[in-house]
Structures are given as structure tokens and as C-alpha cells.
Amino acid sequence: MSAATDDAGDPRRGYFDALAAQWDDEEPSAESMAARLDQYAPLLGLRPGHDVLEAGCGTGKTTGWLVDQVRPGRVTAVDFAARMVECARSKGLDADFASLDLVSDDLGVARFDAVFCFHAFPHLRDQSAALRNFSRALRPGGRLLVMHLAGSERINAFHAALSGPVSGDVLPSGEGWCGLLESAGLSPVRQIDREDLFLVTAAKP
């Protein structure tokens, strides 16, 4: 894998780096997220032995949960905010960490059984390019999981109310996902968009 490029055109990197030190103090906590993820685990279909790319790991709030789901498989946790990755790595979790740009950096070819993008997709500056990158990184039969613990309407309203680089970030909804996924070589499987859960799953043929 190459080192993450320093894209001066994406101010989100600095925005999230500045938040890294206090990110674990923000709700939801790692414990509450793990409880919610346990609730939805049957929808995710992660299994022991799976190799998973955690796309946008932040400070590792969900990394430990993923490790527990797929051990002896491996979790590769990636974020473009280097300080976030430093915080995640400092927790001593049994995962591989890297500071990489999900849009433009090499994530590998056919390396992963699943790409898990949790609470991160709206912040990808080129969502189509990121999906193509995820698709390349998936093994045949592998799955993409895009997940939020709230629906798209709530997520988009929250970002719209913020100031700074993420204020225009949008989580796509509805039929727009079909075109995005198909253009990346992924087959849509499931879409849930309700007040307490957003989940898109797709498969690599």
C-alpha cells in the first residue's frame, strides 16, 4: 500500500485530525456502538475468517468489535486522518492500521471479503471513485457494507447544520445508490433507510 497522499484540496483531513484527541469522548461511545452493532450483526454477515477493510476507522471505536467478529481473519483499519489512526493504533487492538486516502490510494486488489464503511461515506470527496476503489479491493463474492446508526435524512440534516468542511457532506439515499454501485462493478443487495439505521449492502460478482 502506498502512503496516503496529502490532498490540499480536501480540507476534511485537517478537520478530522483536529478532532482526534476528543473523538472518543463524543457520543455514541464505543460500548454503545458495539451494542447496536450486535443487534444488527445478522444483517452484516461478517464471519470468523473474513478479512475486512474498515474504511474510515476514525479512532478505532468500532475496530475492536470487527476484530471480535472475524477473528482469526484480519481487520485492516484505514483512515485519511493520520491523528485519528494514531489514536486507534494506540489502543493495542489486534488489527492492522494505515493512514490512507480511500478515494485515491491503493487499497490492494482482491484482498478483502468485506469492506465496512461505518459513519464515513458522506465524507468521501469523490464517492464514485471511492466505490471503485472498494470494488477493486474486494475478492469475488466479497461485500460492501455502508452503515450509519441513523437514517440519511437525519445524517444529512446534521451535516447541513455544521460549519466547516463537512457542512456539505451528503449520504446518498434512494435509487441513486443503484447507479453508484453498478458503475463500480458492484451488485446491490439490500438498502435500509429508516430513522435509526442506514445500511447499503452490495456484492462483488
CATH of the domain at 72: 3.40.50.150
Task: Give the angle 121-127-133 at the CA atoms, nearest 5°.
Answer: 100
**Which structural domain range is residue 115 located in?**
12-203
Residue 6 belongs to some domain of the structure:
no
* Total residues found in the chain within this entry: 205
pLDDT for res 163: 87
pLDDT for res 2: 33
Residue 147 belongs to some domain of the structure:
yes
User: Which residue, among 3, 6, 24, 4, has the nearest Cα to 14 in the 3D structure?
Assistant: 6
pLDDT for res 1: 35
Residue 128 belongs to some domain of the structure:
yes
How many structural domains compose the chain?
Answer: 1
Residue 46 belongs to some domain of the structure:
yes
Question: Model's pTM, two decimal places?
Answer: 0.94
Residue 188 belongs to some domain of the structure:
yes
pLDDT in tens, the chain (205 residues): 333 334 456 899 999 999 999 999 988 889 999 999 999 999 999 999 999 999 999 999 999 999 999 999 999 999 999 999 999 999 999 999 999 999 999 999 999 999 999 999 999 999 999 999 999 999 999 999 999 999 999 999 999 999 899 999 999 999 899 999 999 999 999 999 999 999 999 999 9
pLDDT for res 5: 38
Residue 3 belongs to some domain of the structure:
no
Residue 182 belongs to some domain of the structure:
yes
**In angstroms, rounded to a whole number, what is the distance separating the alpha carbons of residues 170 and 184?**
19
Residue 7 belongs to some domain of the structure:
no
